[in-house]
Amino acid sequence: MDDHEQRTEAPARPGRVLIVDDEANARSALAELLEDEGYITSTASDGAEALEKLPLFEPEVVLTDLKMPRMDGLALLEEGKKLRPHVAFVVMTAFGSIDTAVSAIKRGAENYLTKPLDMTAVSALVERALEKSRLAAEASRLREQVERRLSFAGILGDHPSMQRVLKTVGQVAPTRATVLISGESGTGKELVAAAIHHNSARGKGPFVRLNCASLAESLLESELFGHERGAFTGAEKRRAGRFEQAHGGTLFLDEVSEIPLATQVKLLRFLQERELERVGGNETIRVDVRVVAASNRDLKQLVEDERFREDLYYRLNVVQIDLPPLRARRSDIAVLAQHFLRKYAEENGREIDGFTDGALRALVGYPWPGNVRELENAIERAVVLCEGNQIDADLLPVGSGREGPRAGEGDLGLLIPGVTMAEVERMVIERTLDAVGGSTAKAADVLGVSRRTIQYRLKEWRGGELEPDE
Ligand SMILES: Nc1ncnc2c1ncn2[C@@H]1O[C@H](COP(=O)(O)OP(=O)(O)OP(=O)(O)O)[C@@H](O)[C@H]1O
Ligand SMILES: [Mg+2]
């Protein structure tokens, strides 16, 4: 093939110009001139017709007369800018009426031409206007791209499993689909829920969160659906529930597995009918709310155990996002650790360059039962305690046992052999509790034991009092 031919540049994309004038002759003369110069043109005989053509023809430049029946040029300019902010308007004004031209410029017109038209001036102005319009469109495209990246930027992760998660978040966010986010404690469920909200059309609406494990059964129902005055003892005023508060936005139901069966029925009804009644009321209320739910327990298993309604499970699970535990995406550990290091160094006004090799090895080798939250806490602590400009393994809980024997490089930072089963158990429980913010229920979930087991151990070690839970 001829080398020369390959290098020939593709012709520039032809500009699109909409010509608006109530005089047919003027329209066709302009159209002819611009077509000759390689533009694609369309015409309209007044502002109203032009406005209708904007979304269909998608002009980059609008060349418009000012005095026209129905809708004049200034009104077209004003409405058109709202509809298509990047379109460049060039107004044509009768000789001697500079005032209107000036007010057009003030309202965002790119330039003006005086009639009778000088055709050379027309093509030069249209060319410049086209360039302006394309630059503006490009700038806003870039801005959107940056904003999109920023709003996802809170969620770090290059591991393929996280890339899949991010892709799903991007696909599902703009829809109204109910999403169920599952994953162990600290894997980023709330972060993902917030990202879904912020990247949806309802992103400017409220993001309301309710932890379903935090309230007693009777309270949960009125918290969700609100109540009428006198619905129960103590209900002195009518109160809007979280659903009503989330109108136009997203309701994030955290730990959805903890919703009692009776309340599950009501939630199901809302997801099916999009309407609800306040507790003690019979007025039916319609609200526009998207539901995103999260659980760190296996809902499917709970369905099998008849602790969670199957129909509700399917309603919630329109789209499922499963967040992998950190130990299943070890390649992300270093990136996350660097991110938290920068964050906490800045917050604490510390100058720390990074981690020693030993620290990085320890970070990557540790199983992180409390996932990203545990990692974040560990880094914050290390930053605060760090005296030099690098974080070494001994500042990380993974590098040295907090209790009992000091560590070598063992997976849990314990000397193996040389440590008793009881010590291992205590360390695992205490670290997990640390990582999940002290909640025995969450620690029990992570460790796969009952909450009672943990409470008994704590009672043994700490003497007497049971840990208060959320
Ligand atoms: N991929 C990630 N990138 C950056 N930060 C993350 C990521 N995942 C989690 N985090 C951070 O880790 C912490 C815990 O995340 P989050 O609260 O979303 O977890 P969770 O799954 O809701 O936990 P729990 O089940 O305990 O409620 C937060 O501070 C969050 O910002
Ligand atoms: Mg959470």
Each residue's pLDDT, cut to its tens digit, for the chain (470 residues) gives 444 434 444 457 899 999 999 999 999 999 999 999 999 999 999 999 999 999 889 999 999 999 898 899 999 999 999 989 999 999 998 877 788 888 899 999 999 999 888 989 999 999 999 999 998 888 777 776 655 554 465 898 888 889 899 999 999 999 999 999 999 999 999 999 999 999 998 999 999 999 999 888 888 999 999 999 888 888 888 889 999 999 999 999 999 999 999 999 999 999 999 999 999 998 999 999 999 999 999 999 999 999 999 999 999 999 999 999 999 998 889 889 988 999 999 999 999 988 998 898 899 889 999 999 999 999 999 999 999 999 999 999 874 433 333 333 334 445 555 556 776 788 788 878 877 877 888 888 888 888 888 888 887 776 545 545 44
- Kindly report the CATH number assigned to the domain that includes residue 426: 1.10.8.60
Residue 263 falls inside a structural domain: yes
Q: Are residues 320 and 179 in the same domain?
A: yes
Give the nearest ligand 1 atom to 190 CA. Answer: 18
CATH number for 281? 3.40.50.300
| Judgement on whether residues 364 and 315 belong to the same structural domain of the protein | no
- State whether 68 and 162 are in the same domain: no
Q: Is the CB of 324 under 6 A from ligand 1?
A: no
d(CA 183, ligand 2 centre) in Å? 10
Of 91, 110, 141, the last residue of a domain is 141
- Residues 50, 79, single domain; the answer is yes
Say if 469 falls within a structural domain: no
Residue 432, pLDDT score: 84
Give pLDDT, residue 365: 87
Quick one: pLDDT at residue 247?
96
The reply to whether ligand 1 has any atom less than 6 angstroms from the CB of 185 is yes
CB 336 within 8 A of CB 373: no
CB distance 201 to 177 below 8 Å: no
189 lines ligand 1 (CB under 6 A): yes
Residue 186 near ligand 1, beta carbon < 6 Å: yes
Q: Are residues 11 and 136 in the same domain?
A: yes
Residue nearest to atom 29 of ligand 1 (CA): 373
Do 170 and 303 share a structural domain?
yes
- Domain assignment present for residue 218? The answer is yes
415 CB-contact burial (10 Å; exposed 0-12 / middle 13-18 / buried 19+): middle
Q: How many domains does the chain have?
A: 3
Please indicate, yes or no, whether residues 355 and 429 belong to a single structural domain of this protein. Answer: yes
Give the Å distances, CA to CA, from 133 to 16, 180, 233, 285.
11, 43, 64, 46
- pLDDT at residue 428 in the model: 84
Rounded to the nearest angstrom, the distance between the alpha carbon of 254 and the centre of ligand 2 is 6
Are 402 and 339 within one domain?
yes
Centre a 10 Å sphere on the Cβ of residue 26 and count the other Cβ atoms it contains.
18
Cα–Cα distances (Å) from 328 to 187, 320, 331, 379, 449, in that order, read 11, 18, 9, 20, 21
Task: Quote the CA–CA distance of 154 and 282 in Å, as a whole number.
Answer: 42
Same domain? 249 vs 371:
no
Shared domain check, 283 and 331: no
Q: Which pLDDT score, from 0 to 100, does residue 419 have?
A: 58
151 domain-assigned: no
CA–centroid distance, residue 358 to ligand 1 (Å): 25
Q: Which of residues 324, 354, 371 is at a domain's end?
A: 324
Tell me the DSSP string of 77-127.
Answer: HHHHHHH-TTPEEEEEEETT-HHHHHHHHHTT--EEEEESP-HHHHHHHHH
Asked whether residue 251 falls in the same domain as residue 332, the answer is no
> Considering the domain boundaries, does residue 470 fall inside one?
no
Do 196 and 294 share a structural domain? yes
Ligand 1 center–CA 151 separation, angstroms:
15
Taking the CA of 442 as reference, the closest ligand is 1
Last residue of a domain, one of 289, 324, 359: 324
Domain that holds residue 180: 157-324
* CB of 376 closer than 6 angstroms to any ligand 1 atom: yes
